[in-house]
Structure 1
Amino acid sequence: MIQKDASLNVLGTDLAPCSNHPVTGYFRDGHCNTCPQDHGSHTVCAVMTAEFLAYSKYVGNDLSTPRPESGFPGLTPGDAWCLCAARFLQAHDEGCAPRINLSATHQRALDVVNLNILQDHAL
Protein backbone atom coordinates (compact mmCIF):
# COMPACT_ATOMS: atom_id res chain seq x y z
CA MET A 1 0.00 0.00 0.00
CA ILE A 2 1.27 3.45 -0.93
CA GLN A 3 1.69 5.78 2.05
CA LYS A 4 0.64 9.39 1.41
CA ASP A 5 2.74 12.22 2.79
CA ALA A 6 1.03 14.32 5.47
CA SER A 7 -1.82 16.33 3.90
CA LEU A 8 -0.48 19.80 4.67
CA ASN A 9 -0.39 22.83 2.40
CA VAL A 10 2.36 25.39 1.79
CA LEU A 11 0.87 27.54 4.57
CA GLY A 12 1.33 24.73 7.09
CA THR A 13 -2.38 23.99 7.54
CA ASP A 14 -4.63 21.14 6.39
CA LEU A 15 -4.58 20.61 2.63
CA ALA A 16 -7.79 21.92 1.06
CA PRO A 17 -9.41 20.17 -1.92
CA CYS A 18 -8.23 21.27 -5.36
CA SER A 19 -10.93 19.86 -7.66
CA ASN A 20 -13.46 17.06 -7.95
CA HIS A 21 -14.84 18.36 -11.29
CA PRO A 22 -12.64 17.22 -12.94
CA VAL A 23 -11.25 14.95 -10.27
CA THR A 24 -7.54 15.63 -9.86
CA GLY A 25 -4.49 14.60 -7.89
CA TYR A 26 -1.90 11.85 -8.06
CA PHE A 27 -4.32 9.69 -6.08
CA ARG A 28 -7.38 11.05 -7.96
CA ASP A 29 -8.84 12.07 -4.61
CA GLY A 30 -9.47 15.72 -5.49
CA HIS A 31 -6.45 16.84 -3.44
CA CYS A 32 -2.83 17.51 -4.42
CA ASN A 33 -1.63 14.76 -2.11
CA THR A 34 1.70 13.14 -2.86
CA CYS A 35 4.02 10.31 -1.89
CA PRO A 36 7.56 9.17 -2.73
CA GLN A 37 6.22 7.33 -5.81
CA ASP A 38 4.84 10.60 -7.25
CA HIS A 39 7.98 11.43 -9.23
CA GLY A 40 6.25 14.34 -10.97
CA SER A 41 5.30 15.96 -7.64
CA HIS A 42 1.68 16.73 -8.65
CA THR A 43 1.44 19.20 -5.79
CA VAL A 44 0.51 22.65 -7.18
CA CYS A 45 -3.24 23.38 -7.33
CA ALA A 46 -3.38 25.51 -10.47
CA VAL A 47 -6.36 27.14 -12.17
CA MET A 48 -6.03 26.59 -15.89
CA THR A 49 -5.85 29.45 -18.38
CA ALA A 50 -5.96 29.26 -22.17
CA GLU A 51 -2.39 30.58 -22.23
CA PHE A 52 -1.09 27.92 -19.84
CA LEU A 53 -2.96 25.08 -21.59
CA ALA A 54 -1.43 26.15 -24.93
CA TYR A 55 2.01 26.36 -23.32
CA SER A 56 1.68 22.94 -21.71
CA LYS A 57 0.64 21.39 -25.03
CA TYR A 58 3.57 23.12 -26.76
CA VAL A 59 6.08 21.63 -24.29
CA GLY A 60 4.62 18.14 -24.68
CA ASN A 61 1.93 17.74 -22.03
CA ASP A 62 -1.46 18.16 -23.70
CA LEU A 63 -3.91 18.75 -20.87
CA SER A 64 -6.74 20.04 -23.05
CA THR A 65 -7.47 17.01 -25.25
CA PRO A 66 -9.93 14.53 -23.72
CA ARG A 67 -8.61 10.98 -23.27
CA PRO A 68 -11.77 8.92 -22.61
CA GLU A 69 -9.78 5.67 -22.52
CA SER A 70 -8.02 7.02 -19.42
CA GLY A 71 -11.07 8.71 -17.92
CA PHE A 72 -9.51 12.13 -18.59
CA PRO A 73 -12.06 14.74 -19.73
CA GLY A 74 -9.53 17.31 -20.94
CA LEU A 75 -9.11 20.61 -19.14
CA THR A 76 -10.55 23.99 -20.03
CA PRO A 77 -9.79 27.47 -18.71
CA GLY A 78 -11.09 27.79 -15.15
CA ASP A 79 -10.55 24.12 -14.25
CA ALA A 80 -8.38 23.49 -11.20
CA TRP A 81 -5.74 20.77 -11.54
CA CYS A 82 -2.87 19.34 -9.48
CA LEU A 83 0.05 20.39 -11.63
CA CYS A 84 3.60 19.06 -11.46
CA ALA A 85 5.68 21.48 -9.43
CA ALA A 86 8.50 21.51 -12.00
CA ARG A 87 6.04 22.31 -14.83
CA PHE A 88 4.63 25.19 -12.79
CA LEU A 89 8.14 26.54 -12.20
CA GLN A 90 8.97 26.15 -15.89
CA ALA A 91 5.80 28.06 -16.84
CA HIS A 92 6.70 30.74 -14.28
CA ASP A 93 10.17 31.09 -15.82
CA GLU A 94 8.53 31.43 -19.27
CA GLY A 95 6.04 34.05 -18.03
CA CYS A 96 2.85 32.02 -18.42
CA ALA A 97 2.26 30.37 -15.04
CA PRO A 98 -1.39 30.02 -13.99
CA ARG A 99 -2.85 31.30 -10.72
CA ILE A 100 -2.76 28.84 -7.85
CA ASN A 101 -4.73 28.00 -4.74
CA LEU A 102 -2.20 28.12 -1.87
CA SER A 103 -4.45 26.32 0.61
CA ALA A 104 -4.77 23.40 -1.85
CA THR A 105 -1.07 23.33 -2.86
CA HIS A 106 0.82 20.60 -1.00
CA GLN A 107 3.80 21.58 1.14
CA ARG A 108 6.02 19.25 -0.92
CA ALA A 109 5.76 21.78 -3.77
CA LEU A 110 8.25 23.79 -1.71
CA ASP A 111 10.88 21.15 -2.56
CA VAL A 112 10.76 22.55 -6.11
CA VAL A 113 9.24 26.04 -6.01
CA ASN A 114 10.09 28.90 -3.65
CA LEU A 115 7.18 30.06 -1.49
CA ASN A 116 7.59 33.64 -2.76
CA ILE A 117 6.98 32.47 -6.33
CA LEU A 118 3.89 30.54 -5.25
CA GLN A 119 2.59 33.56 -3.35
CA ASP A 120 3.12 35.77 -6.41
CA HIS A 121 0.69 33.53 -8.33
CA ALA A 122 -1.87 33.06 -5.57
CA LEU A 123 -5.55 33.59 -6.31
Structure 2
Amino acid sequence: MERNVFRQPLQLHGARPLTGFMRTGYCEAPRSDFGNHSVAAVLTDEFLDYTASKGNDLRSAGLTSGCKWCLCASRWKEAFEARTSDTDAKVPRVYLRKTNERALESVKLEDLSKFAVDAEQNNGS
Protein backbone atom coordinates (compact mmCIF):
# COMPACT_ATOMS: atom_id res chain seq x y z
CA MET A 1 0.00 0.00 0.00
CA GLU A 2 1.29 3.44 -0.94
CA ARG A 3 1.56 5.90 1.95
CA ASN A 4 1.69 9.66 2.28
CA VAL A 5 4.27 11.80 4.08
CA PHE A 6 2.48 11.09 7.38
CA ARG A 7 2.76 7.30 6.76
CA GLN A 8 -1.02 7.13 6.29
CA PRO A 9 -2.83 5.72 3.23
CA LEU A 10 -2.22 7.86 0.16
CA GLN A 11 -5.27 9.90 -0.90
CA LEU A 12 -6.56 10.47 -4.44
CA HIS A 13 -5.06 13.61 -5.97
CA GLY A 14 -6.44 14.28 -9.44
CA ALA A 15 -8.71 12.66 -11.97
CA ARG A 16 -9.12 15.56 -14.45
CA PRO A 17 -6.65 15.12 -15.95
CA LEU A 18 -5.75 11.70 -14.58
CA THR A 19 -2.42 12.23 -12.86
CA GLY A 20 0.35 10.14 -11.38
CA PHE A 21 3.11 8.01 -12.83
CA MET A 22 0.61 5.15 -13.14
CA ARG A 23 -2.20 7.52 -14.30
CA THR A 24 -4.46 6.31 -11.49
CA GLY A 25 -5.10 9.74 -9.97
CA TYR A 26 -2.78 8.94 -7.07
CA CYS A 27 0.81 10.11 -6.68
CA GLU A 28 2.03 6.54 -6.62
CA ALA A 29 5.78 6.29 -6.93
CA PRO A 30 6.85 2.69 -7.51
CA ARG A 31 10.57 1.99 -7.68
CA SER A 32 10.19 1.84 -11.48
CA ASP A 33 9.34 5.58 -11.37
CA PHE A 34 12.85 6.94 -11.58
CA GLY A 35 11.46 10.49 -11.75
CA ASN A 36 9.78 10.00 -8.35
CA HIS A 37 6.46 11.68 -9.32
CA SER A 38 5.43 11.88 -5.67
CA VAL A 39 4.55 15.52 -4.91
CA ALA A 40 0.80 16.24 -5.11
CA ALA A 41 0.76 19.80 -6.38
CA VAL A 42 -1.51 22.44 -7.84
CA LEU A 43 0.15 23.95 -10.89
CA THR A 44 0.64 27.70 -11.31
CA ASP A 45 1.50 29.69 -14.41
CA GLU A 46 4.77 30.68 -12.72
CA PHE A 47 5.71 27.03 -12.15
CA LEU A 48 4.69 26.07 -15.68
CA ASP A 49 6.94 28.84 -17.01
CA TYR A 50 9.76 27.74 -14.69
CA THR A 51 9.64 24.05 -15.59
CA ALA A 52 9.36 24.90 -19.30
CA SER A 53 12.54 26.97 -18.97
CA LYS A 54 14.20 23.81 -17.61
CA GLY A 55 13.12 21.74 -20.62
CA ASN A 56 9.86 20.20 -19.37
CA ASP A 57 6.93 22.02 -20.97
CA LEU A 58 3.92 20.59 -19.17
CA ARG A 59 1.62 22.85 -21.18
CA SER A 60 2.40 20.69 -24.22
CA ALA A 61 0.60 17.88 -22.35
CA GLY A 62 -2.44 20.15 -21.96
CA LEU A 63 -1.78 21.19 -18.38
CA THR A 64 -2.76 24.65 -17.17
CA SER A 65 -2.64 26.67 -13.99
CA GLY A 66 -4.93 25.10 -11.39
CA CYS A 67 -4.43 21.51 -12.57
CA LYS A 68 -3.63 18.97 -9.88
CA TRP A 69 -0.52 17.06 -10.93
CA CYS A 70 1.98 14.65 -9.40
CA LEU A 71 5.34 16.36 -9.79
CA CYS A 72 8.83 14.93 -9.67
CA ALA A 73 10.17 15.59 -6.19
CA SER A 74 13.43 16.88 -7.64
CA ARG A 75 11.68 19.49 -9.83
CA TRP A 76 9.52 20.68 -6.92
CA LYS A 77 12.68 20.98 -4.80
CA GLU A 78 14.44 22.85 -7.60
CA ALA A 79 11.59 25.39 -7.76
CA PHE A 80 11.61 25.61 -3.96
CA GLU A 81 15.33 26.37 -3.91
CA ALA A 82 14.90 28.99 -6.68
CA ARG A 83 12.08 30.80 -4.87
CA THR A 84 12.42 34.46 -3.96
CA SER A 85 10.10 34.18 -0.92
CA ASP A 86 7.85 31.70 0.84
CA THR A 87 4.93 33.09 -1.17
CA ASP A 88 6.65 32.71 -4.57
CA ALA A 89 4.07 31.20 -6.97
CA LYS A 90 6.93 29.47 -8.80
CA VAL A 91 6.66 26.84 -6.06
CA PRO A 92 3.39 24.92 -6.41
CA ARG A 93 1.21 24.44 -3.35
CA VAL A 94 1.05 20.82 -2.19
CA TYR A 95 -1.43 18.46 -0.57
CA LEU A 96 0.52 16.61 2.08
CA ARG A 97 -1.98 13.77 2.53
CA LYS A 98 -1.85 13.18 -1.22
CA THR A 99 1.96 13.43 -1.45
CA ASN A 100 3.72 10.08 -1.51
CA GLU A 101 6.21 9.34 1.27
CA ARG A 102 8.87 8.84 -1.44
CA ALA A 103 8.94 12.63 -1.78
CA LEU A 104 10.83 12.62 1.52
CA GLU A 105 13.76 10.95 -0.26
CA SER A 106 14.43 14.33 -1.92
CA VAL A 107 12.48 16.97 -0.02
CA LYS A 108 12.15 17.79 3.67
CA LEU A 109 8.65 17.62 5.17
CA GLU A 110 9.36 21.04 6.69
CA ASP A 111 9.88 22.49 3.19
CA LEU A 112 6.75 20.85 1.78
CA SER A 113 4.78 22.16 4.76
CA LYS A 114 5.73 25.74 3.91
CA PHE A 115 3.70 25.36 0.71
CA ALA A 116 0.97 23.07 2.04
CA VAL A 117 -2.66 23.80 1.24
CA ASP A 118 -4.70 25.07 4.21
CA ALA A 119 -5.58 22.45 6.83
CA GLU A 120 -2.88 20.13 5.48
CA GLN A 121 -0.12 21.33 7.76
CA ASN A 122 -0.82 19.57 11.05
CA ASN A 123 0.00 15.90 10.64
CA GLY A 124 -2.85 15.23 8.28
CA SER A 125 -5.61 15.56 10.85
TM-score range, shorter chain: 0.7 to 0.9
Q: Provide the residue aligned with 1:22 in structure 2.
A: 17
Distance 2:78 2:63 in 1: 19
From 26, 40, 43, give the equivalent of 1:45: 40
Q: Provide the residue aligned with 2:71 in structure 1.
A: 83
Distance 2:46 2:30 in 1: 29
**Moved runs in structure 1, 4+ residues, more than 2 A?**
none
Q: What TM-score, normalized by structure 1, do the two folds share?
A: 0.88
Distance 1:116 1:94 in 2: 17
Percent identical pairs in the alignment equals 41
Aligned residues: 111
Q: Provide the residue aligned with 2:93 in structure 1.
A: 99
Q: Which amino acid aligns with 2:56?
A: N
Distance 1:117 1:8 in 2: 19
**RMSD value over aligned CA atoms?**
0.8
Distance 1:36 1:77 in 2: 29
Residue 15 of structure 1 deviates from its aligned partner by 0.5
Distance 2:96 2:12 in 1: 11
Q: What TM-score, normalized by structure 2, do the two folds share?
A: 0.86
- CA deviations 1:13-48 (Å, max 9, x no partner) are 110111000001010000000111100000000100
